[in-house]
């Protein structure tokens, strides 16, 4: 018998596939549910012949009837390019998806993890962002479908916890990068790397002085598992790397590591784009002894190798850019 049965929604996506890897490797019986809007079958292809892994094509806006002990709810497009493609569906995925997964957890008395986001803080006027900060979010902007959808999902999780005594975990994820990022997700790390590898101009928005904090995917998944295994802690808890970099610094690091001759160009800053992002991870350190270990240049080197491999094999998502 396998140790436990675990459902991962969004399991063939960037984060979900890495989580499935860890859970399968430790012996859990894993059900990966994904509608493949942004997830890719290639991300989980190496798991399909494992006896303790099962893939089901499913959209979380519809109920799912399975028997599991734990649920990781990661289903939702997480980059502006993808979540703004169909903003109504994005909000449905966050809200209806949360309702459906919480209902499943309630019936099964299962522990449930919500992949929330640093976007709940909006364009913050508190820096770095602690969990107690309520945020500064535009409720009617072009990013609101994601920001407010995730905020509403957190509300639902805590109301299910208070009203039905549900065993919840809410993690607020800050910028994460690594192999299996979607080549066309429009995120800054994948954008810069693909542009550099193809010799295209590196696109910076605004003056390039806005900052982000980049967490390597392996560090993030370690935090997920530690948080889920910790009894009596609901969160919300920030998970991210507190080391802060400007977009110009990131672009220079990518150019250096790829040896690219790409030029840096500037474009207007998108609407509601946060100027700063940096997590306060004091709670993650105190509650389950976690802090990131992979430094930016090391993580970028691994990520560059992944995208270089996609280019060499002629992956249509990257070649056609």
Residue 258: how many CB atoms within 10 A of its CB? 20
Q: How far apart are CA 83 and CA 91, in angstroms?
A: 9
Give yes or no: 146 in active site.
Answer: yes
Give the C-alpha separation, 149 to 179, whole Å: 27
DSSP output for 37-81: SS--GGGTGGGTT-TTEEEEE--TTS------SEEEE--S--SHH
Q: Cβ distance 289 to 233 under 8 Å?
A: no
Tokens read off for 230: 């910790």
Q: What are phi and psi of 50, to 5 degrees?
A: -80, 135
Q: Which two tokens stand for residue 291?
A: 């802090």
**Contact criterion met (CB below 8 Å) for 30 and 54:** yes
The active-site residue out of 146, 160, 177, 216 is 146
DSSP symbols for 297-321: HHHHHHHHHHHHHHHHHT-HHHHT-
Strand segments, DSSP code E, in the chain are 5-9, 29-34, 53-57, 70-73, 111-117, 168-173, 176-177, 202-205, 211-213, 215-216, 237-239, 244-246, 264-267
Question: Among all residues, which ones are annotated catalytic?
Answer: 146
């Amino acid at each position: 018998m396998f140790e436990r049965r675990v459902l991962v929604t969004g399991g063939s996506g960037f984060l979900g596939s890495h989580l499935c890897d860890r859970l399968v490797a430790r012996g859990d019986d894993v059900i990966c549910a994904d509608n493949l809007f942004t997830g890719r079958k290639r991300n989980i292809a190496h798991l399909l012949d494992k006896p303790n892994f099962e893939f089901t094509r499913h959209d979380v806006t519809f109920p799912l009837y399975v028997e599991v002990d734990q649920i990781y709810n990661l289903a939702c497009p997480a980059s502006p390019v993808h979540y703004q493609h169909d903003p109504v569906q994005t909000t449905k995925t966050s809200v209806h998806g949360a309702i459906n997964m919480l209902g499943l957890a309630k019936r099964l008395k299962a522990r449930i993890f919500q992949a929330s986001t640093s976007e709940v803080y909006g364009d913050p006027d508190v820096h770095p962002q602690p969990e107690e900060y309520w945020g500064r979010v535009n409720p009617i902007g072009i990013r609101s479908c994601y920001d407010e959808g995730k905020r509403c999902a957190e509300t639902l999780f805590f109301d299910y916890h208070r009203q039905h005594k549900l065993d919840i975990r809410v993690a607020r994820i800050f910028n994460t990068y690594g192999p299996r990022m979607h080549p066309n997700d429009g995120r800054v790390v994948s954008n810069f790397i693909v542009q550099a590898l193809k010799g295209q101009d590196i696109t910076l928005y605004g003056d390039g002085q806005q900052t982000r904090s980049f967490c390597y995917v392996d560090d993030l998944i370690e935090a997920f598992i530690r948080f889920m295994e910790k009894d009596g802690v609901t969160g919300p808890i920030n998970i991210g790397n507190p080391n802060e970099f400007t977009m110009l610094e990131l672009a220079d690091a990518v150019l250096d590591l790829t040896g690219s001759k790409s030029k840096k160009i500037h474009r207007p800053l998108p609407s509601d784009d946060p100027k700063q992002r940096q997590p306060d991870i004091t709670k993650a350190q105190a509650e389950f002894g976690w802090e990131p270990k992979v430094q930016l240049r090391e993580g970028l080197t691994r990520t560059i190798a992944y995208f270089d491999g996609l280019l060499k094999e002629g992956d249509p998502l990257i070649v056609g850019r």
